[in-house]
Amino acid sequence: MSAAVLGPADVSFEAGRSYTLAAVGQRADLSLSPLVIDENLLLETYNIDPASSWVLLLHAVSGAPAVDVYFNDTLVVSGLGFGASLVAEATEASFQLRVTAAGQSGDILNQTLLGLPNNTQFVTVAGTADDFSVIVGSNSPLNAVDFLRGLSGQPTSFDTLLAAVDAAGLTDALANQGPFTLFAPPDSAFAALPAGTLEAALADPTLLTNILGYHVVPDYVTSADVVDELLTTGSVTLSTAQGGALTISSSDGRVLINGTAQILATDYYVRNGVIHVIDSLLVP
């Protein structure tokens, strides 16, 4: 890199605390500047448990309108303007995130989010004043196993997947190796299998390893990566840890793997990778 857009910036960090680093503003109007958000301080200010599900809201575009943020029909943030950041707790297992221009009724964003414990969801106004959008992301400090284990008892849980991973002797690998992308089928996907299928698989570690490896891509694959390639080529081919390939395509507004498994939720970043939720098992 021959020239820096920002910096150097004199910042310090404390061990055991979580921070978000962002570049806010625009070069065109000389408002571009670094922003360091101490997430722990925000949680303390708003009296939110770090192990709960919460959303970090940030407005990063100078000249763009302030926004109102709703969880379902409840206004949680009013008039969030440029450079402002705050947190709001998600108290429901699933909720509709709506973002509008402040005081207006038309939605800039309307998206379903899962209220996941031990997880930060980011809602950021990004872009330029003339062409801005709202970006949603997710991040957890936990590894993939601990993150999925923390969802036990939630409407979308992964207890059966973790039991299969354990039966195959892969728990340590899923917790400590990476980075990787995991296409994770929830308990409902296993419950839909024909009678006896799951029990037979759990008794066969070699078969389990083969199936589970087909759900893992040994690299980061984000929804943005997939969408970009879908728009360019119409399909995406991914090589799995099992050795086979996955083909991602779109049909009638749905994103499918191998033409059958639908991707339900995307981009849950964990310490050693990224997780996407699918509605059925992938069979090599």
Question: Distance between CA atoms of 212 and 269, rounded to whole angstroms?
Answer: 19
- What residue has token string 């970006």? 135
Query: What is the bridge-based pairing of β-strands 107-114 and 94-101?
Result: antiparallel
Q: What is the pLDDT of residue 263?
A: 93
Where do we find the tokens 């964990």?
A: 270
What does the alpha-carbon distance between residue 104 and residue 68 come to, in Å, rounded to a whole number?
8
For the chain, give every residue range classified as CATH 2.30.180.10. 144-278
Closest by Cα among 205, 190, 203 to 282 = 190
pLDDT for 120 equals: 80
Looking at residue 4, its pLDDT comes to: 56
Q: Is 166 helix (H, G, I), strand (E, B) or coil?
A: helix
**For residue 3, what pLDDT is reported?**
58
Exposed e or buried b per residue across 177-210, where buried means at least 16 C-beta atoms within 10 angstroms of its C-beta: bbebbbbbbbbebbeebeeeebeebbeeeeebbb
- CATH code of the region 19-139: 2.60.40
What token pair was written down for 40? 């722990």
Handedness of CA 191, 194, 196, 197 (dihedral sign): negative
Contact status, residue 102 vs residue 78, Cβ threshold 8 Å: yes
- Per-residue pLDDT of the chain in tens (284 residues, 90 and over written 9): 455 566 667 777 888 777 777 777 777 777 777 777 788 888 888 888 877 778 888 888 888 889 999 998 899 999 999 888 888 888 777 788 899 999 998 888 888 777 777 778 888 877 777 777 777 778 888 899 999 998 888 778 999 999 999 999 999 999 999 999 999 999 999 999 999 999 999 999 999 999 999 999 999 999 888 988 998 899 999 999 999 999 999 988 889 999 999 998 888 899 999 999 999 999 98
Distance linking the first and last C-alpha atoms of the chain: 42
Structure confidence at residue 5 (pLDDT): 60
Q: What topology is assigned to 144-278 in CATH?
A: FAS1 domain (2.30.180)
Residues of the chain with CATH 2.60.40: 19-139
